Amino acid sequence: MSAAQGFRLRLRAQPDFRVDLSPLQPAALAGRDVGEVARLELRHANAHVELGELFDVDALSSEAPELRLEGDLRRFDRIGQAMDGGCLSVTGEVGDYLGAAMRSGDIVVEGRAGHLAACEMAGGRLEVRGDIGDFAAGALPGSMDGMRGGTLVVRGNAGARFGDRMRRGTVLLLGDAGDFCASRMVAGTIALAGRVGAHCGYGMRRGTLVFGGSAPDVPATFAETSHDIRVTWALLSRSLGKLHPAFDSLAGRVPRRVVGDLAADGKGEWLIVG
């Protein structure tokens, strides 16, 4: 059977335990044949299972490395982990660690994602068109650094600790964020179209939060400034509008600016447009 650049995997049987899908990388699978892909072994609890036992595997006519996953994949973790190029799309829900440590490429999920999505992401673009779990764009367990680059777009709501320890990159959240959003943030930009939960910006050191929706309650450890930010705001708002039309209208309004978290000697900024 001839080699292919892309593959479509349709779930046909739910596993008994959680499955690690990190070996399924678009660039790594390109050039293989269908039979070879179907024989790939995946971690399944303390054992292994062949990919073909869980998915129907078909070749795609694609000029670039591409992988399409279809089905309810809530028991499948680490989809697109450490991905370095190509396109990966999912029609359905996914498990934990989506796009963790991703370096380049594009991932789109038409559904909900579990916890720890985009953790330590360094590049590429990841879009979740449903809700997302806790610790998204944060640090992997045992690590001190959160998201390090790239672009994350979430059309739904996010859980707690969204952007915890984030160091670089751009995040757009169209829904609401849970408690401790941007906690211990070091750098990067998070733009929010919805509401935030309690303790937003707790321990924030640097970085930028843009509030395009409901105006949040400003903590006592943040102070308002009188700096003229019209030039920098024009550049930032224009770039956010290019990333998603939900932020197109920001450029015409000049936001309030507060800085903190002063309790942590922080110099992060909140730009409050709503």
Q: Which residue has the higher pLDDT, 21 or 251?
A: 21
How many Cα atoms are found within 13 Å in the side-chain-facing hemisphere of 100?
A: 26
Whether 137 has a pLDDT exceeding 60, the answer reads yes
pLDDT of residue 8: 96
pLDDT level of residue 127 (50, 70, 90 thresholds): very high
Whether 3 has a pLDDT exceeding 90, the answer reads no
**Do 197 and 179 touch, CB atoms closer than 8 A?**
yes
Which pTM does this prediction carry? 0.93
Can you point out the beta strands (E) in the chain?
6-11, 19-20, 41-44, 47-50, 55-60, 66-70, 76-77, 84-91, 104-110, 125-128, 148-154, 168-173, 189-192, 208-211, 223-224, 256-260, 268-272
What is the DSSP code string of 34-70? HHHHHT-EEEETTEEEEHHHHEEEEEE--SS-EEEEE
pLDDT level of residue 253 (50, 70, 90 thresholds): confident
Mean pLDDT score across all residues of the chain: 94
In percent, the amount of the chain with pLDDT more than 90 equals 82
What value does the mean pLDDT take over residues 216-227? 91
Q: Residue ranges of the alpha helices (H) in 47-170? A: 51-54
Task: List CB contacts of 28: < 8 A, sequence separation 6 or more.
Answer: none
Whether 2 has a pLDDT exceeding 80, the answer reads no
- pLDDT tens digit sequence for 33-73: 999 999 999 999 889 999 999 999 999 888 889 999 999 99
Whether 254 has a pLDDT exceeding 90, the answer reads no
pLDDT of residue 141: 86
Other beta carbons less than 10 A from residue 60's beta carbon: 12
What is the bridge-based pairing of β-strands 55-60 and 6-11? antiparallel
Helix, strand, coil: what percent of the chain each, to 5? 15, 35, 55
